[in-house]
Amino acid sequence: MALTKSKFVPCLWFDTEAEAAANLYVSVFKNARILSTTRYGKEGFEIHGRAAGTVMTVEFELDGQKFVGLNGGPQFKFSEAISFQIPCETQEEVDHYWSKLTADGGQEGPCGWLKDKFGLSWQVVPTALSEMLKGSDAAAAQRVTKAFLQMKKFDIAALKKAHAGV
């Protein structure tokens, strides 16, 4: 089966950290790589204010999804209004992404949300959670909801216990 190219490439606006962020992300995710880096030139300095030779953009790929990191300046900051979900099959995956993305100044948030050290929001979510919430047992779904609302990093075993009514 041929892979289809996405029609959308998220562009992530950084002040000066695009290259460092791209390097972090490709170290955290499997099947990840830096595709290209562009640099500011002398032209346009009066507009962009960046020294010639500094990184302008970094194009990178995480498991087939392309991204562009742009060093555009301090005008814009990330907010929780945009986040990237990471579906995880196992607790080992949840733990991996959680520890790597909260390291070095990242912040834990509620219900599987976190911010990495660059302020970008991620949701580290077990794939089993959706199945537990969609099932025909409304009481089980409510127990799972009550359990996950108390969590920061998701605990799959605890969610399964809540679903089972244990």
Residue 4's pLDDT is 53
Q: Are strands 65-71 and 83-88 parallel, antiparallel or unpaired?
A: unpaired
Task: Give tens-digit pLDDT for 43-65.
Answer: 988 888 899 999 999 999 999 99
pLDDT (average), residues 71-75: 95
Backbone angles phi, psi at 24, to 5 degrees: -65, -50
Residues 127-158: tens digit of each pLDDT: 999 999 997 899 999 999 999 999 999 999 99
Q: Is the pLDDT of residue 162 over 80?
A: yes
**The pLDDT value given to residue 51:** 92
The yes-or-no verdict on residue 69 having pLDDT over 90 is: yes
Query: What's the whole-number average pLDDT of the chain?
Result: 94
For the cut 90, the answer to whether the pLDDT of residue 84 exceeds it is: yes
CATH 3.30.720.100 location in the chain: 11-71
Using DSSP bridges, classify how beta strands 107-108 and 83-88 pair: parallel, antiparallel or unpaired: unpaired
Q: What is the pLDDT of residue 151?
A: 97
Question: pTM here?
Answer: 0.91
**CATH architecture label of 11-71:** 2-Layer Sandwich (3.30)
CATH 3.10.180.10 maps onto the chain at: 83-164
- Nearest CA to 160 out of 123, 127, 128, 125 is that of 128
With bands split at pLDDT 50, 70 and 90, how would you rate the model's confidence at 1? very low
* Section 103-113 average pLDDT: 97
Per-residue pLDDT at 2 exceeds 50: no
pLDDT of residue 104: 96
Superfamily in which the 83-164 domain is placed by CATH: 2,3-Dihydroxybiphenyl 1,2-Dioxygenase, domain 1 (3.10.180.10)
| 89-110 mean pLDDT | 98
